[in-house]
Amino acid sequence: QKEVEQDPGPLSVPEGAIVSLNCTYSNSAFQYFMWYRQYSRKGPELLMYTYSSGNKEDGRFTAQVDKSSKYISLFIRDSQPSDSATYLCAMSAPGYNKLIFGAGTRLAVHP
């Protein structure tokens, strides 16, 4: 079983929809939870990170972490065609620079 599980999709939604992306994990040592966006043939771009449990909001993006359930989510409000990309969750334990990634969810937002 992988340390981080993420449904690869693809996920197709109409423009303006609320998108929910999720990951589960098994390692309770993880304290940092990141979301990256990767466009085709580009490197991953850091969207936001959360430390431990709780919510964090940045514009149209909201990240949630539930450590008791080992479950993290990224919500995208008012989705745009430009949001079409692969979204990767990543996690790390304190003191380590090693990121453990989910498989990535491919999102398509159609006009």
Partner 1 sequence: KAGVTQTPRYLIKTRGQQVTLSCSPISGHRSVSWYQQTPGQGLQFLFEYFSETQRNKGNFPGRFSGRQFSNSRSEMNVSTLELGDSALYLCASSLGRGNAHEQYFGPGTRLTVT
Please list every residue from 47 through 66 that binds partner 1, using CB under 8 A: 49, 51
Concatenating the DSSP letter of every residue in 63-99 gives EEEETTTTEEEEEESS--GGG-EEEEEEEE-TT----
32 is a site residue for partner 1 (CB under 8 A): yes
98 is a site residue for partner 1 (CB under 8 A): yes
100 is a site residue for partner 1 (CB under 8 A): yes
Q: In the complex, which residues of this chain contact partner 1 (CB under 8 A)? A: 32, 34, 36, 41-46, 49, 51, 88, 90, 92, 94-104
